Amino acid sequence: MKTYGYGKQNITEDDIQAVVETLKSPYLTCGPKVKEFEQAICDYTGTKYCVAVNSATSGLHIAMMAAGVGVNNEVITSPMTFLASANCARFCGADVKFADIEKDTANINPDEIKKHISQKTKAVVPVHFAGQSCDMEGVNRALPTDRKIYIIEDAAHAIGSDYKDTKVGSCKYSDMTVFSFHPVKTITTCEGGAVTTNDEELYKKLCAFRAHGMHKDGDMTNDWRYEMRELGYNYRMTDVQAALGVSQLKRLDQFKKRRREIVDFYNKNLGLPHLIEKDFSNACFHLYPILVKDRKKFYFDARKAGLNLQVHYIPVHTQPYYQEQGYKWGDYPNAEEYYNHCISLPLYPDLTDNDLQEIIRRIKEII
Ligand SMILES: *Cc1c(COP(=O)(O)O)cnc(C)c1O
């Protein structure tokens, strides 16, 4: 029996060729392919600056650092996300405040953000769940106007997506946007991520934090000297990965088209409760979650039927680590209710129409 997971990378001969060529080139890292990938992301998203990194987790971390998040600060994010959206605040010693989700999109609710803003709030991390952009104008309206609170978009799910007349990553409604190129995401560099911004100061900080806090400027550019001016990390992406990224990015619009076809197909042919796409969104869907009554039974029945599905996500505030920070079940009812019923169906461009018929047949047998 053919089995299906919920997501799968798409690798072509061109991708392989691009990787092989870079392996044979003088630069395996810190070379021209990283710059080329960064420029390609800028061109695609319509943003000024891009910093490629070795994961979205690293990207979120240096974005927090560039925003100046530190101890005695608070960062607001969604409880319905992968751990990294919250952990990045903890890396910097800040406290995490969660803001509950909207039931129909599973995205963070701007009104809930407003409730959790305090004098300590330094940044907000909206997560574009399943690929659909958050209500970014709503997020902006939720913030006070008398002081700066950074908006850092966690767009790990959302490369290729549009919000109104902008690409996610354009940073028209935010300070920075973070993408992930893990193989389950829409395009991949094996592991990898990127941060986009239009702000030159933030860009310079991101570059430094990616590489040990090292700077090389002024008359230092002509000799061996460099200066470490702050504490940074080694979060660099390799040229081999960037070469794969450049090649993958060329197919992003094709992936988006097929992903939307699959979502339309499920919407029409399954008749099960699913997330709603808002008018402001034109998503490159990363996930297709449905809501089922008995999720546990559905999960194990699906496995027996060759469907290896996944649950996105266990609400972050219920993790033992965050319970130690004072959170408990019951704190974010919408996220918890969503979690109790959600399960993500197969969604990736390699699925053929026959595959989709077969998946639907199996689901209808077990539902
Ligand atoms: C995958 C994911 C991340 C982390 O991405 P990595 O590249 O694996 O570090 C962060 N946030 C969300 C919402 C994700 O889905």
pLDDT tens for each residue of 195-233: 999 999 999 999 999 999 999 999 999 999 999 999 999
Whether the predicted model's global pTM rises above the 0.75 cut: yes
Same domain for 203 and 61:
yes
Residue 105 resides in a domain: yes
Going across the sheet that includes 166-167, the strands are 166-167, 162-163, 281-282
265 and 216 in one domain?
Answer: no
Residue 1 in domain: no
CB 168 within 8 A of CB 151: no
The amino acid present at 266, given as its one-letter code, is Y
Residue-number span of the structural domain to which 87 is assigned:
8-249
Q: How do residues 332-357 score in pLDDT, each as one tens digit?
A: 999 999 999 999 999 999 999 999 99
Q: How confident is the model at residue 83 (pLDDT cuts 50, 70, 90)?
A: very high
Q: Are residues 225 and 306 in the same domain?
A: no
Question: Is 83 within a domain?
Answer: yes
Structural domain count of the chain: 2
Please check whether residues 328 and 299 belong to one and the same domain: yes
Q: Which of 180, 286, 314 to mutate to test the pocket of ligand 1 (most atoms within 8 A of CB)?
A: 180
Same domain, yes or no, for 244 and 281? no
Query: Using CA of residue 14, residue 15, residue 16, residue 17, what is the dihedral sign?
Result: positive
Q: Contact 236/30 with Cβ under 8 angstroms?
A: yes
Residue 114 half-sphere exposure toward CB, CA atoms < 13 A: 10
Task: Name the percent of the chain lying above pLDDT 70.
Answer: 100
2 part of a folded domain: no
- Residue 109 pLDDT: 98
Q: How confident is the model at residue 135 (pLDDT cuts 50, 70, 90)?
A: very high
Residue 148 lies in a domain: yes
Same domain, 158 and 219: yes
Dump pLDDT digits (tens) for 242-259.
Answer: 999 999 999 999 999 999
Do residues 186 and 325 both lie within one domain? no
Mean pLDDT of 64-81: 98
Task: Detail the DSSP E strand segments found in 262-340.
Answer: 281-282, 288-291, 307-308
Residues ≥6 apart with Cβ < 8 Å to 97? 74, 75, 76, 77, 116, 118, 121
- Residue 341: which residues within 8 A CB-CB, separation 6 or more? 291, 292, 293, 295
CB 198 within 8 Å of CB 212: no
Ligand 1 atom nearest 128 alpha carbon: 13
Mutate to test the pocket of ligand 1, among 182, 186, 191 (most ligand atoms within 8 A of CB): 182
Q: Domain check: are 139 and 263 in the same one?
A: no
Alpha-carbon span 89 to 179, nearest angstrom? 17
- Compute the average pLDDT of residues 104-124: 98
**Domain's final residue, options 196, 231, 249:** 249
| CB-defined site of ligand 1, < 6 Å | 55-57, 81-82, 84-85, 127, 154, 156-157, 180, 182, 193
In whole angstroms, how far apart are CA 240 and each of 18, 31, 156, 245?
8, 10, 21, 9
Q: Percent of the chain beyond pLDDT 90?
A: 99
- The whole-number pLDDT of residue 194 equals 99
Which of the four pLDDT bands, split at 50, 70 and 90, describes residue 103?
very high
Asked whether residue 279 falls in the same domain as residue 326, the answer is yes
Domain end (from 217, 249, 281) = 249
Looking at the structure, tell me whether residues 96 and 217 fall in a common domain.
yes
Q: Give the CATH number, domain containing residue 197.
A: 3.40.640.10
Kindly give the number of the ligand 1 atom that is closest to the alpha carbon of 286.
15
Averaged pLDDT for residues 35-53: 98
Question: Which CA distances in Å does 70 have to 18, 53, 97, 201, 213?
Answer: 40, 21, 14, 18, 17
- Distance from Cα 106 to the centre of ligand 1, integer Å: 16
What is the crossing angle of helices 353-366 and 295-304, to 10°? 130
- Cβ atoms of 292 and 270 closer than 8 Å: no
Check which CATH number belongs to the domain holding 308 and give it.
3.90.1150.10
- In the block, tokens 């319905």 appear at 80
Answer yes or no: is 3 within a domain: no
pLDDT of residue 7: 97
Query: Are 146 and 207 within one domain?
Result: yes
Do 291 and 273 meet the contact criterion of CB atoms below 8 Å apart? yes
Residues 245 and 257 in one domain: no
Q: How would you label 245-269 residue by residue, b for 16+ Cβ within 10 Å and e otherwise?
A: bbbbbebbeebbebbbebbebbeee
Alpha carbons 55 and 182: distance in angstroms, whole number: 7
Domain final residue pick, 202, 232, 249: 249
- pLDDT, mean over the chain: 98
Residue 143 lies in a domain: yes
Does 33 reside within a domain?
A: yes
